[in-house]
Amino acid sequence: MKSKILIIGAGYAGILTAKKLAKKFKKNDDVNITIIDKNPFHTMLTELHEVAANRVDEDSIKISLSKVFAGRKVNVVLDTVESIDFENNKVTGNCNTYEYEYLVLAAGSKPTYFGVPGAEEFSHKLWSFDDAVNLREHIHNCFRKAATETNPEKKKRLLTFHVVGAGFTGVEMVGELAEYVPVLCEKYEIDRKDVSIYNVDVLTRTVPNLPEKLSNKVENRLQKMGVTMMLNNGVVGVGADFIETKNGDKVTRHTSGTVIWAAGIESSDITNEAAKTLQSAARGRIKLDSYLRSLDNDHVYVVGDNMLFTAEGEERPVPQMVENCEQSAAVAAKNIYSAITGKGEMTAYKPSFHGMMVCVGGRYGVARVGLPKFMFNLPSFLAMFAKHFINIIYFIQVLGWNKIFSYIKHEFFTIRNCRSFVGGHFSNRTPSFLLVALRIWLGAVWLFEGIMKIVEGWFNKPHLEGFFGGANGWYDSILKGVTEGTSGEAGKAAVEAVSSATTAGGGEAVAEGINKIGTTIINFDFLHLFRVIFVSGKQLAESALSDFAFRLDIPLMNTFVYKVILANDSIQMFMQISIVIAEILIGLALIGGLFTTPASAVSLILQFMFVCTTGLYLGTFWMIFAGIAVLIGAGRTFGLDYYAMPFLKRQWKKLPIVRKWYIYND
């Protein structure tokens, strides 16, 4: 009989638990793993504010469950769980009933309103994909309506926003909103002074989990962005067009067109239902033993936000944060594996958290990171960098290359209104069709070089000894200051080598000055690992761009060239024929716009080889920069990649190993 493991919830904790269990039982057909969620996708809850304030596309925070579990023995079931029968090991949903031997409760949380009248009815929450999309549209509509509203009171109400909650979610939401408002004001021709943004909380300072110094930085940043801080104010009522706050004994009603509720969370409905049977506390969180099992049922494991567990030596329960989801998922998966197979010992949960961070918009953040007993603060740029780096680490676990590529694209390469901590400098703005001429010209130069090498006899006899040796002689004559150092055949070989390798027209200039002492500009040896050489074939005052040459001299590469390649005529012929064929294929590929990315990559590799062997004239460096410019997607415009790449991507994604390891992008 198969062991049935049932996971409720495909949030951070649930999805990681399922993947880790699938890996442990991948060779065991006697175990059935099922994960249930009401959505066919996983939502990045920590990034909801970015969608709500229109910094990133909504699809960027969705991760398809079918893609996550492609090629893995995990059954994905779409259903809403209504009840759990712990005595008979059954879970009942809207669509079906599911039996289990081991249950993992990872259903996550929902907003809590603390009994405030009207809060749930009249405020906008931010705890799901739909919440973020709806809030984004609502904010946009407020400005759209305000632009044509002639009644001053109505206009003021439309442009007044209250974000309730000064914890992580509230601060990040109000920060994103404050950053987005100037964009909307410009679009709808609204004076920024007409927009009011308030951050309301009964707390005495923002994000009290952080040190007071960092809290002050967050508050100062928000105030500079035009946010009015209303701390020490508890919310006691919310209506269709107002919010009521209480400071001491004084209750004040404020006009508000939008109230965003980000003031706290409690366990999800199904976890609250389970809490009626299992020991629980603190808004429905389930009490656990050190192995993450319910105190009442050792076949029920709880991970993520639903767990109430205080680690040994700690005073407070583990926080409801992503790092706890990751670590608890790993321990629960290991213990379930041990319980089913009898292999290994159960592992007690000993979390080790490495800090926390808060982003105030896309350009500013604060962070306190490190080890449990050694924490330090990071300045804004490094805090934002750490935030993105941690997200990427998480994506490696969930959806590998596919999600990493998507995340980098949305956060940096297509970011709107420069709302990134790098200021939008990486965001693409140049239409790709402007690169067509550059791509074709780069391809034509490579094709010309390949054909000329055939004309010179590269298919008939070895040329590499003169190709490399002549260049070395030319550089030595300048570096050592030997007037006649490269006369005669050696000089001709030097000219041929450098000019041919660099595909530049500077050969004649070098030949003219070959018997003169050139100019050494840079000759820097770094620990004998490599040497940077920058010279001119003429005196500096007489030099043109075509006279300057750059070389990165690497002893290890030199040894390989002379001891392996040049030592054998057969290897020489193989290498030079390969170079010629590569140059011709690169040229044809770039001209036709077919396989542009690999062609550009090989182009850059060849250029790097030339830099490290014969060197390059500055007049030829444009080929390196052109190769970089057309590296990504340049063949999709007026090129064969427009037809070839979509077809190849569809076929590639069908391969089981590709789907399993996520080595594709959408």
The pLDDT of residue 665:
84
- Dist CA 283 CA 299 (whole Å): 23
Domain presence at residue 655: no
pLDDT, mean of each 10-residue run, the chain (666 residues): 92 97 94 97 95 94 95 96 96 96 96 96 96 97 97 97 97 98 97 97 95 96 98 97 96 97 94 95 93 97 96 90 95 97 94 93 95 91 94 92 91 88 83 90 97 94 85 86 44 46 40 59 92 92 91 92 90 94 97 96 95 91 95 91 93 92 87
Sheet holding 258-261, edge to edge: 124-125, 258-261, 160-164, 196-200, 227-230
- What residues pair up with 163 in beta bridges, in sequence order? 199, 260
Burial grade of 460 (CB within 10 A; 0-12, 13-18, 19 or more) = exposed
Question: Residues 6 or more apart from 248 whose CB is under 8 A from it?
Answer: none
Residue 406 CB-half CA count within 13 A: 22
Q: What does the pLDDT read at residue 501?
A: 45
Q: Which of 198, 132, 190, 117 is nearest to 165 (CA)?
A: 198
Same domain membership, residue 279 and residue 152: no
Q: What torsion do the CA atoms of 155, 157, 159, 160 make, to the nearest 10 degrees?
A: 160
| 146 and 255 both lie in a single domain | yes
Domain final position from 341, 369, 404 = 341
Residue 367 lies in a domain: no
Q: Is residue 431 part of a domain?
A: no
User: Residue 81 forms beta bridges with which residues?
Assistant: 93
Q: Residue 532 pairs with which residues in a beta bridge?
A: 524, 552
Distance set, CA 580 to CA 347, 447, 576, 662 (Å): 60, 9, 6, 35
User: Does 415 reside within a domain?
Assistant: no
Residues 103 and 179 in one domain: no
Q: Which pLDDT does position 305 carry in this prediction?
A: 94
Shared domain check, 259 and 299: no
Residue 520 lies in a domain: yes
Answer whether 512's CB lies under 8 Å from 625's CB.
no
Number of H helices, E strands in the chain: 22, 30
Last residue of a domain, one of 291, 320, 341: 341
Q: Are 522 and 546 members of one domain?
A: yes
- Which CATH number do you get for residue 173? 3.50.50.100
- Please state the separation of Cα 26 from the chain's center in Å: 29
- Return the pLDDT at 467: 80
Tokens 């405030």 found at:
116
- Three-state secondary structure call for residue 202: coil
Tell me, what DSSP letter sits at residue 506? -
- pTM for the predicted model, two decimal places: 0.83
Total structural domains within the chain: 3
Are residue 87 and residue 141 in the same domain, yes or no? no
Judgement on whether residues 233 and 250 belong to the same structural domain of the protein: yes
| Cα 330–Cα 335–Cα 340 angle in degrees, nearest 5 | 130
**Nearest-angstrom CA–CA distance, 3 and 398:** 25
Asked, for residue 281, whether it belongs to a domain, the answer is yes
Residues 148 and 38 in one domain: no
What pLDDT does residue 1 have?
67
Nearest to 606 by CA among 595, 592, 619, 616: 616
**102 and 170 co-located in one domain:** no
Q: Rounded distance, CA 602 to CA 217, Å?
A: 48
Find all residues with CB under 8 Å of 308, minimum gap 6, and list them. Answer: 280, 281, 282, 285, 286, 287, 288, 317
Give me the sign of the Cα torsion angle 338, 339, 341, 343. Answer: positive
Question: Which parts of 506-547 are beta strand (E)?
Answer: 519-526, 530-536
**Nearby residues of 82 by Cβ (< 8 Å), 6 or more positions away:** 92, 93, 94, 270
Q: Which of 617, 622, 613 is nearest to 505 (CA)?
A: 617
Same domain, 502 and 592: yes
Instruction: Clarify whether residues 254 and 271 are in a common domain.
Output: no
- CB contact set of 153 (below 8 Å; sequence gap of 6+): 255
Task: Give the pLDDT score at 471.
Answer: 85
So what's the pLDDT on residue 517? 64
Give the three-state DSSP class for 568.
coil
Which range of residues forms the domain containing residue 152?
Answer: 119-263
SS (HEC) of 427-475: CCCCCHHHHHHHHHHHHHHHHHHHHHHHHCCCCCCCCHHHHHHHHHHHH
CB atoms within 10 A of CB 164: 29
Residue where a domain terminates, one of 314, 341, 368 = 341
What is the model's pLDDT at position 365?
96
The Cβ-side half-sphere exposure at 442, using a 13 Å CA radius, reads 31
Confirm whether 568 is domain-assigned: yes
Same domain, 258 and 325: no
Rounded distance between C-alpha atoms, residue 328 and residue 330, angstroms = 5
- The tokens for 465 are 């000894």
> Does residue 423 lie within any of the structural domains?
no
